[in-house]
A and B are shown apart, each in its own frame.
Chain A
Amino acid sequence: MKIIVCMKQVPDTTDVRLDPETHTLIREGIPNIINPFDMYAIEEAIRLKEKFGGKVTAVTLGPPQSLKALREALAMGVDEAVQLSDRAFAGSDSWATSYTLALAIRKLGEFDIILCGKQAIDGDTGQVGPGIASQLGIAQLTYVFRIISLDPAARLITVERLLEEGREIVEARLPALLTVLKDINQPRTTSFVQIREASKRTIPTWTAADLPEADPSKLGLKGSPTQVIQIFSPPMRKDALELIEADTVMESAAILADRIIAEKII
């Protein structure tokens, strides 16, 4: 079973908060983590390998420091890692990111399953997984929270997806790309020894020159169809807090119920 896991290094959003005065972001402390949803993808990839044998390769596209995220994945038990990093990739939107990752995955050769997190917590788009699957022309199974069965001989996978109205059980022919939810597993922790071993590993960095199939006009900022033209603070909540304090709980509840009814929601 050849498994590829796509991951992204993101700022730990617990460290990103709003300055109440200037209404801008403030960052403090340790900045970067593996996107939490990708942790579940990495864990699921390793579990599939443990069950069916084979190899897990982690791929990331990012600035030079994203190497650290790949080392963490190696420490967890991923077999190989490839970093895609080049100034030519900088400024990629979700289209250019999918395009670049798909080219790298093709270069890696045959594969059975690609795992991605549902979305990254900085951009929140959830579009790169479907983008990669479409570029590669393979089935996509998004919002997966359980792999029910995997039959390598029949080349079939059955998963459970979480949708608005409930759950859906879908069967797909391999190769397939899955984007996974938090509920799928509990990612393992890594030991000091594993981290130390991973730190000794050489991780190849591929640049645009390593992707000869790439159309240079489709890479990075230049290849990205979308452009950010304005950044602004979200609108402030209009009213300050009204704290309801009556003599008894029942009186407070009565006042609160009146306030809510006056909002004409119910």
Chain B
Amino acid sequence: MALLKIDRDKCVGCGACVDACPFGALSMVDDTIEVSEACTACGACLLSCPMHALSLVKGREPEAVKDLAAYSGVWVWVEQFRGQSGGISLEMLGQGRKLADQRGVPLTACVLGHEVGHLAEEAISFGADRVFRVDDPTLAVYRTAPYARALIDLVREYRPEVFILGASSRGRDLAGSVASILYTGLTADCTGLEIDPETGLLLQTRPAFGGNIMATIVCPYHRPQMATMRQHVAEMPVADPSRRGQVVAVETALEETDIATRVVDSILEKDTVSLADARIIVSGGGGVGGSAGFETIRQLADVLGGAVGASRSAVDKGWIPYAHQVGQTGRTVRPDLYIACGISGQIQHLAGMKTSRVIVAINKDSKAPIFNIADYGIVGDLFQVVPALAEQFRKKLQR
């Protein structure tokens, strides 16, 4: 089955798409474009065509469509760790509230854990109309199987139309399991979610190819429409303690003996915490020159109350643990402020941080690619610039 449709009347055989295909699936044969089996329907070629002759073949309506009208409402999973909901959960409640209002339906929060009654109340104050509270010792610490089972049972009984989760490690772990069992669509790591006013479908926008292209994805014939959303994309809602909602207590289905995993220990690390949640990240790369050099980076991070990040080259040289790595094979971050010190800006690094709100580059090499995406830059030796910057902030912020 061909996945790419070529409008032969519009195609002028310019070959622009041939160069754009990351899979080498397009070729020029006798002045016309041929698509090979290597095509994965990624869509990277679509933008390259000056004649707008290319489109993706859409999946047909399956023979046995679910009773779509039976599914209604927007649901959010409230992630918690040791009885505290993360910032990402609150963002999802805010995003869920917007979607529910656009669709004109109630917002339901799913709170799973042990002794988490306070989180049910919190979810209502942040926008939920109804909370399913599944409270059981087997749910005290997150584990895939009991959490997935609880959500799957709820979805089967109450049939939500839309179900969103934060794209944290746990959110992605859980969503992948739930969607797989329910046979429904899941779009991972969205940076945009909205309701199409015409079709009522959830429009799910996400980056692909390390952020080089954006794709909007829908799930037309399966329910619920599931998505995970990145942190720091949705606005943080403001709590309204006067909001009222319904809390529904739900029993769990699994016994401890049914569960194949056991969390032996959780080791908190100050730095990893802050890198995932951080609004400010100060990162070091090859220019830092060694583990001692990261002290300079850390001093600036401390003044700003930020976290320390690193490029792959610094991690590979053993100057700083992997948990700090930002980029394609590390963490994707989206802070308000990213200060790159001695980082040249390889595409793999940029893929992990280029959606940061304000990017500052400090580098000796004025031609370093990091300057292409930076908002502010200083060309100079980081060992002079970074301490000077720390001193200026200390003075100006009186810290």
Binding site for B on A (CB under 8 A): 11, 13-18, 22-27, 31-32, 36-37, 63-65, 85, 87-88, 90-91, 93-95, 98, 121-131, 133-135, 138-143, 145, 158, 161-173, 176, 181-183, 217-218, 220-222, 224-234, 237, 239, 241-245, 249-250, 252-254, 256-261, 263, 265-266
* CB within 8 Å for A257 and B393 given contacts A13-B328, A16-B210, A231-B46: yes
* CB within 8 Å for A98 and B180 given contacts A91-B41, A266-B397: yes
Q: Which residue of chain A has the shortest Cβ distance to B259 in the bound complex?
A: A139
* Residues from 180 to 211 in B contacting A, C-beta threshold 8 Å: 180-181, 183-189, 203, 207-211
**With a CB–CB cut-off of 8 A, which chain A residues contact B170?**
163
Would you call B187 and A226 a contact (CB within 8 A)?
yes
**With a CB–CB cut-off of 8 A, which chain A residues contact B234?**
none
Q: Which residue of chain A has the shortest Cβ distance to B187 in the bound complex?
A: A226
**With a CB–CB cut-off of 8 A, which chain A residues contact B310?**
none
For B378, give its contact among A93, A127, A244, A258 (CB under 8 Å).
Answer: A244
* CB within 8 Å for A266 and B280 given contacts A237-B373, A250-B392: yes
**With a CB–CB cut-off of 8 A, which chain B residues contact A94?**
176, 186, 188
* CB within 8 Å for A222 and B60 given contacts A16-B210, A95-B183, A249-B388: yes
Would you call B169 and A163 a contact (CB within 8 A)?
yes
- 5 pairs of A and B residues whose beta carbons are closest in the complex: A130-B176, A225-B185, A253-B388, A11-B22, A231-B43
Would you call B180 and A265 a contact (CB within 8 A)?
no
**With a CB–CB cut-off of 8 A, which chain A residues contact B215?**
228, 230-231
With both chains docked as a complex, state the minimum distance between the C-beta of A77 and any C-beta of chain B, in angstroms: 22
* CB within 8 Å for A25 and B63 given contacts A171-B262, A252-B380, A256-B376: no
With both chains docked as a complex, state the minimum distance between the C-beta of B85 and any C-beta of chain A, in angstroms: 13
Expressed in whole angstroms, the Cα–Cα distance for A10 and B57 within the complex equals 21
**With a CB–CB cut-off of 8 A, which chain B residues contact A237?**
354, 359, 373, 375
B351 interface contact, C-beta 8 A: yes
* CB within 8 Å for A127 and B179 given contacts A90-B37, A260-B360: yes
Binds A, one of B123-131, B156-164, B244-252, B265-273: B265-273
**With a CB–CB cut-off of 8 A, which chain B residues contact A230?**
215-216
Would you call A241 and B337 a contact (CB within 8 A)?
no
B118 interface contact, C-beta 8 A: no
With both chains docked as a complex, state the minimum distance between the C-beta of A65 and any C-beta of chain B, in angstroms: 6
Expressed in whole angstroms, the Cα–Cα distance for A168 and B1 within the complex equals 44
**With a CB–CB cut-off of 8 A, which chain A residues contact B296?**
none
With both chains docked as a complex, state the minimum distance between the C-beta of A9 and any C-beta of chain B, in angstroms: 9
Can you list, as one digit per residue, whether each of B67-80 has a CB less than 8 Å from chain A (1) or not (0)?
A: 00000000000000
Is chain A's interface secondary structure helix, strand, loop, or mixed overall?
mixed
Q: Which residue of chain A has the shortest Cβ distance to B17 in the bound complex?
A: A24
Would you call B39 and A90 a contact (CB within 8 A)?
yes
* CB within 8 Å for A17 and B173 given contacts A95-B180, A165-B272: no
Sample of 11 more A-B contacts, CB < 8 Å, known A170-B261, A182-B329, A234-B207: A13-B328, A27-B19, A121-B328, A124-B189, A164-B277, A165-B269, A171-B262, A231-B44, A234-B212, A256-B360, A258-B396
B220 interface contact, C-beta 8 A: yes
Would you call B210 and A121 a contact (CB within 8 A)?
yes
**With a CB–CB cut-off of 8 A, which chain A residues contact B210?**
13, 16, 121, 124
**With a CB–CB cut-off of 8 A, which chain B residues contact A11?**
22-23, 209
Binding site for A on B (CB under 8 A): 1, 3, 16, 19-25, 36-44, 46-48, 56-60, 62-64, 81, 86, 143-145, 148, 168-170, 172-173, 175-177, 179-181, 183-189, 203, 207-222, 260-269, 272-273, 276-277, 279-280, 304-305, 322-323, 325, 328-330, 336-337, 346-348, 351, 354-355, 357-360, 371-380, 384-385, 388-389, 391-393, 396-397
Expressed in whole angstroms, the Cα–Cα distance for A246 and B354 within the complex equals 27
Could you give 29 example pairs across A and B, Cβ below 8 Å? A13-B348, A14-B348, A16-B22, A24-B16, A27-B24, A63-B36, A90-B37, A95-B183, A125-B189, A127-B172, A127-B175, A130-B177, A131-B176, A134-B176, A143-B169, A162-B169, A163-B169, A163-B170, A164-B272, A166-B273, A167-B266, A170-B264, A217-B62, A225-B183, A226-B217, A231-B46, A231-B56, A234-B211, A260-B337
Q: Which residue of chain A has the shortest Cβ distance to B56 in the bound complex?
A: A228
Would you call B1 and A91 a contact (CB within 8 A)?
yes
Would you call A260 and B217 a contact (CB within 8 A)?
no
Q: Which residue of chain B has the shortest Cβ distance to A160 in the bound complex?
A: B267
With both chains docked as a complex, state the minimum distance between the C-beta of B67 and any C-beta of chain A, in angstroms: 16
Q: Which residue of chain A has the shortest Cβ distance to B356 in the bound complex?
A: A237
Would you call A242 and B376 a contact (CB within 8 A)?
yes
Would you call B46 and A225 a contact (CB within 8 A)?
no
Pick from A88, A164, A172 the residue with the most CB of B within 10 Å: A164
For B22, give its contact among A27, A217, A244 (CB under 8 Å).
Answer: A27
Q: Which residue of chain B has the shortest Cβ distance to A182 in the bound complex?
A: B329
**With a CB–CB cut-off of 8 A, which chain B residues contact A169?**
263-267
Would you call B260 and A176 a contact (CB within 8 A)?
yes
